Amino acid sequence: MAEHLTAVSVTARPNLLSRPAVLLAITALAFAGLNFSAYRGYFMHDDFEFLSWAPKFPAPEYLKTFFEPIFSPHNFRPAGHFYYHVMGRIFWLDFPPYIASIHLLHILNIWLVWLLLRKLGLSRYASAAGVFFFAFHVALFDAWWKPSYIFDMLAATFCILAFLAYLDGRWILSLLSFWAAYKSKELAVMLPAVLASYELLLGQKRWKPLVPFVAVSLCFGLQALFMAPQKAGIYAFHFNLGSLGQTLPFYAKQLLLFPFSGFLLLLLPVIVRDRRVWFGVSAAILYFGPLFFLPGRLVEVYWYLPMTGGAIALGALVACGHTRAVAVFLLLWFPWDLVMFSRLRRKALALEGANRAYVSALAEFAPSHPAVHTFIYEKSPPGLPGWGIRSALNCLYDRLDSQVYVAGDSSGRSLLHSKPVALLDWDPTTRKLTIVDWTQADQHASYLDLRRFMSLFQLGDGWYGSEGSHIWTKPDADASLWRPPNAETFELRIVVPPLEIRTREKVTLRAALDGQPLEPRELTRVGEQALRWSLLAAPSGLTKVEFHTTPDYRAPDDPRVLGIAVKSFGFLPGTRP
């Protein structure tokens, strides 16, 4: 009898690993461990753009825009932007809290996917397989490392909540969640189609409850279609085969991390005769609907919401008896997923580390130079293009009117002597940013190598943009140099293309220093060459250098009127005391 009771007590003892809370805790700890180094990362360009204005935007306006049934042509997404409003006001540019928030949101979504799979009738083991695929899929990497993809994560959160409420017959709660999903990101507009697929394949074919969902979807979808032609750039829709030729291969590759692997989803309904598998596949494809016609914006993390459909399909494969096949698949997939994860982690840390170094230097400069509104740069970190630099400066200066120009932009160079300007010289090798307040620079260089960024700002009128190794002048050009006291030679290094000599019988270059002409030189030889003039003794000081080239030169297929192609020029010191 005692042995029987012991046996009964042993068999009745619950398996801790089968408890959902324990499984969630293990998954959350594994996810946090894999992504712990994300806390060493930093903001990207989009983050600075949102943080430059979202905290300043009045909170009631977010609520007003949330309930407006109007499509925003400016991609204003009140749910996601309100996140930046709150986080910016509380944490500002302290990065770790942003990572903590998106990690918690992903863990919440993992839990919601579990609830959804269980609600669809899948067993614990089947649901665990689907959740595992969603929780760690490397295509979603950017959502775990970059706060700017909060929009995709929130859209998934509210879409799953809407689906769960719909399955429970809570139509109003479901509709409100759908509205919130759309106000997080427009991709959620496809949820009614997913619900219709559910009714067709797994539900009771109840079409009336779908009417308000379809009405909301059509309201926003038709507005988007009519307003899309007015939208320029990467967010414009292109409904043609060319778009599909770009988007389908790109997104198909991300599913299993090799080319066209996503098309295997289309084979599952043919091979497996289970409607839950069919529904999971249809959900993934339907959520992708708008993205198939958005070739200007191809991003791996856009799999975030469609991946919930992939989780359903994978879990359904286990539920319908393909447990061994799914186990083998996950054992093969996960190591490769980790390899790709490690590569992306290294890349992200390098990219975001450069952003941190760049913005940290700007943060040190800003408080002591409050009057500087204009900045000129030549190079920048890959994760911080010109508009990202402007957004970062707007954050640091707490304003919205910072002006940023790229070196070689004549409009930027014309501002050098009219308003406070700072030059941003980024060295990608050392990851060091040198900042020069041009209004406080008390000495010019005496020799300019036009391959160097700082040299460009001693150029005056008559110069075109940098071409790497040289800069073309107009027929008349000038610059400013500091003449040292021991200057004995003036040197000019130029490149003369063969066509310039052949198309002009005689090319004459006249140079002048502070209005005093130097000996004219005739250019008769092609290629790189150095011209030198001996100088008489003269006082040191700022000197205006002029170049005058005759006749004008026009290169084929080039509308510019050209003078000479200059590599470097300036004063060479001698032994004169």
- The whole-number pLDDT of residue 411 equals 64
Structure confidence at residue 12 as a pLDDT band (50, 70, 90): very low
Model confidence at 11: pLDDT above 70: no
Mean pLDDT of 84-89: 96
9's tokens: 């007590």
398 φ/ψ sector (left φ>0, alpha ψ -120 to 50, else beta): left
Q: Give the pLDDT of residue 4.
A: 45
Mean pLDDT of 242-248: 90
**CATH tag, 447-573:** 2.60.120.260
Average pLDDT of the chain is: 88
With a pLDDT cut of 90, the percent of the chain lying above it is 61
Q: For residue 375, what are the β-bridge partners? A: 404, 422
* pLDDT for 2 beyond 50: no
CA pair distance 161, 175, nearest whole angstrom: 10
Q: Locate 40 and state its tokens.
A: 């060493």
- For 562-574, the pLDDT digits (tens) are 999 999 999 998 7
Residue 409's pLDDT is 66
Instruction: Look at residue 292 and tell me whether its pLDDT is greater than 80.
Output: yes
Assigned token pair, 192: 């009614």
Local confidence band at 228 (pLDDT 50, 70, 90 cut-offs): low
Q: Residue 510: how many CB atoms within 10 A of its CB?
A: 15
List pLDDT tens digits, range 554-564.
888 889 999 99
355-382: pLDDT as tens digits: 999 999 999 999 999 989 889 888 899 9
Per the structure block, which two tokens stand in for 386?
């010109």
- Is the model's pLDDT at 175 over the cut of 60? yes
Residue 432 pairs with which residues in a beta bridge? 427
- b/e per residue 161-195 (b: at least 16 CB within 10 A): bbbbbbbeeeeeebbebbbbbbbbbbbbbbbbbbb
Please list, in sequence order, all residues whose beta carbon lies within 8 angstroms of the beta carbon of residue 387, skipping any fewer than 6 positions away. Answer: 45, 49, 404
Across 3-42, where does the E strand assignment appear? none
SS3 letters across 501-554: HHHCCCEEEEEEECCEECCCEEECCCEEEEEEEECCCCCCEEEEEEEEEECCEC
CA 147, CA 309: separation in Å to the nearest integer?
23
What is the reported pLDDT for 358? 96
- Top mean-pLDDT range of 34-43, 67-76, 412-421, 452-461: 34-43
SS3 at position 205: coil
Q: Where are the domains of the chain?
A: 21-348, 370-440, 447-573
- At 85, the pLDDT band (50, 70, 90 cuts) reads very high
> Cα(25)–Cα(171) distance, rounded to whole angstroms?
31
* pLDDT tops 60 at residue 576: no
For the chain, report the end-to-end CA distance as a whole number of angstroms: 114
Task: State the pTM of this model.
Answer: 0.81
pLDDT tens per residue, range 410-452 = 666 667 666 788 889 888 888 999 888 877 655 578 999 887 7
Residue pLDDT, tens place only, 475-503: 999 999 989 988 999 999 999 888 877 76
Q: What percent of the chain has pLDDT over 70?
A: 91
